[in-house]
Amino acid sequence: MLASLAGVLFDGFAYGMLLFLLSVGLSVTLGMMNFVNLAHCSFAMIGGYVTLTLTNSLGWPFLASLPAAFLAAAAASVVLERTLYRRLYRASDLDQCLFTIGVVFVSVAVAAWIYGTIQQSISTPPYLRGSVQFMGISFAVYRLFLVAFALVITVVLVALLEYTRFGAQVRAAVDNPRMARGLGIDVDRAFMVTFALGGGLAGLGGALAIEVVGLDPGFAFTYLVYVLIVVAVGGLGSIGGSFLAAAVLGISDMAGKYYFPWLGAFLIYLVMVGLLMWRPAGLFGKR
């Protein structure tokens, strides 16, 4: 019983780390640029399909395809930001919502057109398969890899935004764009790089998600809800908040599916609505 509980906790945490990778980019762009980008999971989908094509069709090693997924999603998000999104920075929430939902519809249709609607899977390298036993509990190697990866990303992100010159510029640009411009900071460029970073991280999350949840064109919609929950509950722009929210969400989702399967996703939505009513700006939100 205790072993199974620990197993559920670990699986849930690993799943939560996946959600964290998928959503941290949105937390950054939404929190910093105040742009409701519902198409965030479309970038994740781009990353996923890039990895899928590279490993399954072109025979790239899995780990080598991850940077490619990051770069492809980052490039796509920069193109979209430069051409379309930037015109909507001052638009209303509703307009941003509608516009990005439109982008999701288009991306889902394009993915279905290229790859078909069936769920795709990926063959991970042998060293990421199987599981290790520790104190009577078996840990899947891939999930351990996910957890380690997410922890590294968190540390890198926090260091980047809190302790580097670039991070200071971004935070300045967000807090007071006019003042930042006055000090000679290129606010547009800071936003563009932030957006690319957010999109790229989503692409990375999408690539890593295939092994766990599979990949089909519906991905952009299915995980949008989860990602929004993580961001809304964790608080905008808070990396630590996203981390915690993703971990709680992953564990409660996994535990719910394991112990109360008849409830389905009901529990998750209930937790989200409750938390939002209690703290509308999220657990760690400032506004």
Partner 1 sequence: MAAGGPFREALKRMTAADPAVAGPLQYLEAQVRWRRIEIAFWLATLLPFVVTPAYLQLASQIAITALFALSLDLILGYAGIVSLGHAAYFGVGAYTAGLLSKHFWGEPLSGLAAAALLSGLVGYATSHIIVRFRHLALIMLTLGLGLLLHEAANSAHFLTGGADGLQGVRIRPLLETFRFDLYGRAAYAYSLAVLFLVFLVARRLIHSPFGLALRAIRENAMRMPAIGAPSRAHLRKIYTISAVMAGIAGALLTHTTSTVSLEVLSFQRSADVLVILILGGAGRLYGGILGAIIYMVARDQFSGINPQYWYFWIGLLLIAVVMFLPNGILGGLAKITARWRGRRP
> Closer to partner 1 at the Cβ: 67 or 116?
116
- Choices 159-167, 172-180, 247-255, 269-277 (CB under 8 A): range interacting with partner 1: 269-277
Among 1, 2, 58, 94, binds partner 1 (CB under 8 A): 94
- Taking CB under 8 A as the criterion, the residue among 3, 84, 151, 168 binding partner 1 is 84
Q: Pick from 58, 59, 83, 87: which binds partner 1 (CB under 8 A)?
A: 87
Among 215, 210, 205, CA closest to 112: 215
Beta bridge partners of 138: 133
Helix (H, G, I), strand (E, B) or coil at 140: strand
3-state DSSP helix/strand/coil % of the chain, to nearest 5 = 75, 5, 20
Which parts of 168-197 interact with partner 1 (CB under 8 A)?
none
What are the b/e assignments for 28-64, b being 16+ CB within 10 Å?
Answer: bbbbbbebbbbbbbbbbbbbbbbbbbbbeeeeeebee
Told to check if 49 binds partner 1 by CB under 8 A, we report: no
- Applying CB under 8 A, among 113, 134, 163, 259 the residue interacting with partner 1 is 113
- Determine which residue in the list 30, 157, 170, 283 makes contact with partner 1, applying CB under 8 A: 30
The DSSP element (H or E) to which 131 belongs, if any, is strand 131-134
Between the CA of residue 196 and those of 46, 189, 192, 199, 205, what are the distances in Å? 13, 10, 6, 5, 14
Q: Which is nearer to partner 1, 123 or 176 (CB)?
A: 176
Q: Is 276 in the site for partner 1 (CB under 8 A)?
A: yes
Contacting residues toward partner 1, per CB under 8 A: 30, 36, 84, 87-88, 91, 93-95, 97-99, 101-110, 112-113, 117, 217, 225, 228-229, 232, 236, 262-266, 269-270, 272-273, 276-277, 280-281
